[in-house]
Structure formats: structure tokens, C-alpha cells
Amino acid sequence: MPDVPAIVIGKAPHVAQSGLPPAFASHACDRALAYPWPSWHDWAMRFLVALLFLAMPALAEETPMSPEDFEALVTGQTLSYSSGGIEYGAETYFENRRVRWSFLDGECTEGHWYVAADLICFVYDDIPNHQCWKFYLRGGQLLARFENDPEADAIYSTHKRKESLLCLGPDVGV
């Protein structure tokens, strides 16, 4: 006998099996029964989400910057790195691929970057693991994808900083 989906009286079938917490499931159920078709708001949101996906092609489909282009763009600059609109660190890029990184806490670490296959990797004096990235230039903005974790798909954005890094040194005032 084929499996027959359970019918729950008083609830929309798709909500009954949705796994939503009861408070959300009952609201979704009531709405589904009262409005059997999506509202204009639902259609507008679906349209906007689809438009965003079309307007922003995945970085996986784009070509990463060459090491030469990356070096020409960043040398002599200090860039801030942010994720989800929140700045979490900054890096100054010097001649000969030398760098200075800070988590914006007053402490800085020196390092350098190098090329490994199609990745741009960083090694720092105080950070044991090499940090490998792919960089992309989209609409004049430098974007980065961390490549050490194959599951990670976060995109980090950068912008040029007007001020230099504040490096107080280790244990200042202690």
C-alpha cells in the first residue's frame, strides 16, 4: 500500500509537516487557510530575492584576481575587512608582499602573502595557520572568499581605510 500523507484537520498540510515551532505553525496555518494565494507582499519579496540573485552572480562563476593584479591594487593601501556589514579587521599592504594585520583591538601582527596554486595565502608571526583566500573585483569593490574551510561560503568585503592601523604593541600598560 503506498504511503498516504497524514491529513490534519484544521491545519494546512504543508504546515503540519513543516517542523515549525507551534507558535509559528499556527500563524502560518491560519494565514494559509484565510489566504489561499500569496499576498502582494509575498510576491514582492520573491521578486526582490530573485532579482538579487540575478544581479549578483556567484563568485564561484567569476574569475579570481591574478596575484599581479591583487598586488598592484593593494600595495601601499590599508584595507578594512567586514562580514555582514560589520568591520572585524584591517590590513596594511607593504612592498615585497609584506603585511600588517589587526583585529582592530590595538594589537598587530606582521606577516607576508604568497601565491599557492590559484590562492593568495597569508602567514603571520603570531598566527600559526596559513590563511588562504580568493579575491575578486566586482564593481570596483574588492571581495574575498576564505578558502581554508571548504564548507564556508561567506563573502568578505573590503574598503580602503583613511586612517592607518593603531598598533599599540603587546601588553602596553601592563
- pLDDT given for residue 30 in this prediction: 44
Residue 16 to residues 6, 43, 106: CA-CA distances in angstroms?
Answer: 9, 23, 53
Query: What is the model's pTM?
Result: 0.62
* Contact by Cβ (8 Å): 62, 136: yes
Residue 23 structural domain = 13-55
Closest CA to 78 of 87, 90, 89: 90
Q: Is 25 part of any domain? A: yes
Strand partners, 83: 86
118 and 38 both lie in a single domain = no
Alpha-carbon distance 108 to 170, whole Å?
8
Residue pLDDT, tens place only, 33-75: 444 555 544 544 554 444 333 444 444 468 899 999 999 999 9
Cβ-Cβ contacts under 8 Å for 48 (sequence gap 6 or more): none
Does residue 76 share a domain with residue 22? no
16 pLDDT higher than 50: no
Averaged confidence pLDDT in the chain? 74
Residue 6 falls inside a structural domain: no
How do residues 110-151 score in pLDDT, each as one tens digit?
Answer: 999 999 998 999 999 988 899 999 999 998 899 999 999 878
pLDDT of residue 3 exceeding 90, the answer is no
Q: Would 18 be classed as within a structural domain? A: yes
Are 51 and 65 members of one domain?
A: no
The grid cell for 46 is 520573491
Q: Is the pLDDT of residue 167 over 70?
A: yes
